[in-house]
Chains A and B, each alone.
Chain A
Amino acid sequence: MIKNADQIFVLLQHWIMSFFPSVLQPIVGVLLAVVTIICVFPALFAIAVLLERKGLGRMQNRFGPNRVGPLGILQPVADGLKSLTKEDIVPTSADAVVHFLAPVFLVVVVFMGYAVLPMGRNMTLVNMDAGLLFFFAMGASTELSVFMAGWSSRNKYSLLGAMRAVAQMISYEVPLLLSSLVVVMMTGSMNLGRIVDAQNQYSWGLPHWYIFTPWGFAAFLLYAIATTAESNRSPFDLPEGESELVAGYFTEYSGFKFALFFLGEYVGMLSVSGLGTTLFLGGWSAPFSFLTWVPSWIWFFGKVMMSICVFIWLRGTLPRMRQDQLMNFAWKFVLPLSLLNVFVAALWRFLGDGWARWGVCSAILLVAYFVMAKVGMKSEHFGPRSYRYAE
């Protein structure tokens, strides 16, 4: 019974496949999985948007949406209908073809990333050896669509937003790859399924997740910073900073194309959360050995939604960074730390089992963190806080 609950989607897929002749079965199976992904993640997107508006409202001491349906939970439906029925405006001077292709390209590329994510036991669409590489290849392609959107709109705000976004995404892609590299070094595989299997072990009832090691914890924090910047979320949301650039690279988009950009941003956020879960938080494995009876997909989606909550929390808490602060942070703080973390991971590997490596690796990372923070703060010349107007 419990085993069936764990495998319910796999069993369902096989049951539907059994209605078709055996020649068609592989195609039908893949189609079913693809359709499921294309349905489930926009549904999660709706939930995430509602959660974000409600949560931000809570943090900013207001109600948030509360008119459509009980407690406002039907707000995403209303938003979807609204964006479907709105007029699709293309500026006269815009490059119509590129302007049309940009949101389509973004959504296609963002959904491709899900192909390799293990969403539960036996629930991977394509279980390939180069899974991680595929995910990052797809992630890197989104930059192009951002540029296409910004350039084709023929609007200075769009172009500025696109330039900012692309510069930011390129800068943070280096620490993103370096922080994930550590996991590949430890597992010895780029196959995401094997990365989860390596973490799905328990000693004294506690899991062997990579986040519970010094290098894994550091890599997770660096990964979280880099992905927040990659998905253009606050505090790294300069490319779409309302106070400066209206809406950044998608200023000139309206109606459903705007909704597609919105969808692309949130689905991208969900997919990087899924990858972070897979790499550092044990994927679909349970947090305690006595909870392994809970279906694996509940853990995966639970962890992803928790990560989304952290994203929302960050957005409600931190102010937007300045462009130079953003670049300095990437190249002078995050990048050196992630490079150091690669060395620390290698050291961890060669120090062998025992408690010595815990002490040595944690000490190196902590000392590096504090020294770099100190040096960075000193060069910024931060003095005591002074108030000009609000005394």
Chain B
Amino acid sequence: MTIVFYVIAAITVAGALAAMLLKNTVHCALALTVAFAGLAIQFLELDAQFAGFAQILVYIGAVAILVVFAILLTRGSETPKEGVFSKTWLAGLAIAAMVFAVLSWAVLNSTSSLPGDSPKPTVSVLEIGNALMGRYVLPLEIVAVLLTSALIGAVIVAKHEKGSAK
């Protein structure tokens, strides 16, 4: 645990907290992006290049934009007058606490099952590629077919709408 880790962790947690606590929904989305970026830098700090850059590409490049679009297209980014807390906040709090408990239990257990001071594994992008093309080729292909069909499906849906409109 270096000082870099603590700095990045502080930024990530601050971003996540700001995402919950800020009043303006768009500000929340932007703060969430800071948390995503913090996680990506955390991956890079652990020498996981692929995971880090994929995190930036997918979460900052696509998910953050999607969140922002959803906010802008559904209702105004203004704060509602009756406050941002829903009536069922107690149940929400309980569920959040339970999820946090389960996650932290899993994380704490996983460290005890690993040997204590194991050196950082160095996994290069090449090795990830080889593993994906070798051992995990079937799941990869299934995901690839699913995504490609989704892509083609999107095009067909767009084409169909145009045809029926005319």
Contact = CB atoms under 8 A, between A and B. Distances in A.
B6 interface: no
B117 to A, nearest CB: 27
Given A140-B56, A331-B158, A332-B159, A173 B65 contact: no
Nearest to B57: A137
Contacts of A144: 30, 33, 60-61, 64-65, 68
A379 B77 CA distance: 38
Interface in B116-166: 124-126, 148, 151-152, 154-155, 158-159, 162-163
Contact of A335 (B30, B124, B155): B155
B5 interface: no
Contacts of A143: 61, 65
A170 B26 contact: no
Contacts of B77: 151
Contacts of A134: 49, 53
Interface residues of A, number: 33
A177 to B, nearest CB: 9
Interface string A147-170: 110010000000100010010001
Interface stretch (A72-80, A125-133, A244-252, A349-357): A125-133
Contact of A170 (B27, B49, B62, B163): B62
B65 A166 contact: yes
Contacts of A91: none
B132 to A, nearest CB: 13
B61 A140 contact: yes
B30 A98 contact: yes
Contacts of A138: 56
Interface string B61-83: 11011001100100001000000
Interface in A339-354: 339
Contacts of B72: 151, 159, 163
Q: Number of contact residues on B: which range applies?
A: 20 to 34
A59 to B, nearest CB: 35
B21 interface: no
A197 B77 CA distance: 50
A190 interface: yes
Contact of A148 (B30, B49, B148): B30
A136 interface: yes
Nearest to A138: B56
B29 to A, nearest CB: 9
A137 B155 contact: no
Contacts of A137: 53-54, 56-57, 60-61
Contact of A129 (B30, B56, B69, B126): B126
Contacts of B56: 137-138, 140-141
A17 interface: no
A189 B126 CA distance: 7
B54 A133 contact: yes
Nearest to B158: A331
A26 interface: no
Given A144-B33, A147-B65, A151-B26, A130 B148 contact: no
B124 A129 contact: yes
A144 B34 CA distance: 11
A183 to B, nearest CB: 14
Interface in A42-87: none
A130 B151 CA distance: 25
Contacts of B163: 379
Nearest to B162: A379
B69 A166 contact: yes
A140 to B, nearest CB: 3
A128 B49 contact: yes
Given A148-B30, A166-B65, A332-B158, A133 B50 contact: yes
Contacts of B53: 130, 133-134, 137
A137 B26 CA distance: 22
A302 interface: no
Contacts of A205: none
Contacts of B124: 129
Nearest to B51: A130
What 9 A-B pairs have minimum CB-CB distances, sorted nearest first? A140-B61, A137-B56, A129-B125, A137-B57, A133-B53, A130-B49, A137-B53, A130-B125, A134-B53
Given A95-B27, A140-B57, A336-B155, 15 more contacts: A129-B49, A129-B126, A133-B50, A136-B61, A137-B53, A138-B56, A144-B60, A170-B62, A328-B158, A328-B162, A331-B154, A331-B155, A332-B155, A335-B155, A339-B148
10 contacts: A130-B50, A133-B57, A140-B61, A143-B61, A144-B65, A151-B77, A159-B72, A166-B69, A336-B155, A379-B163
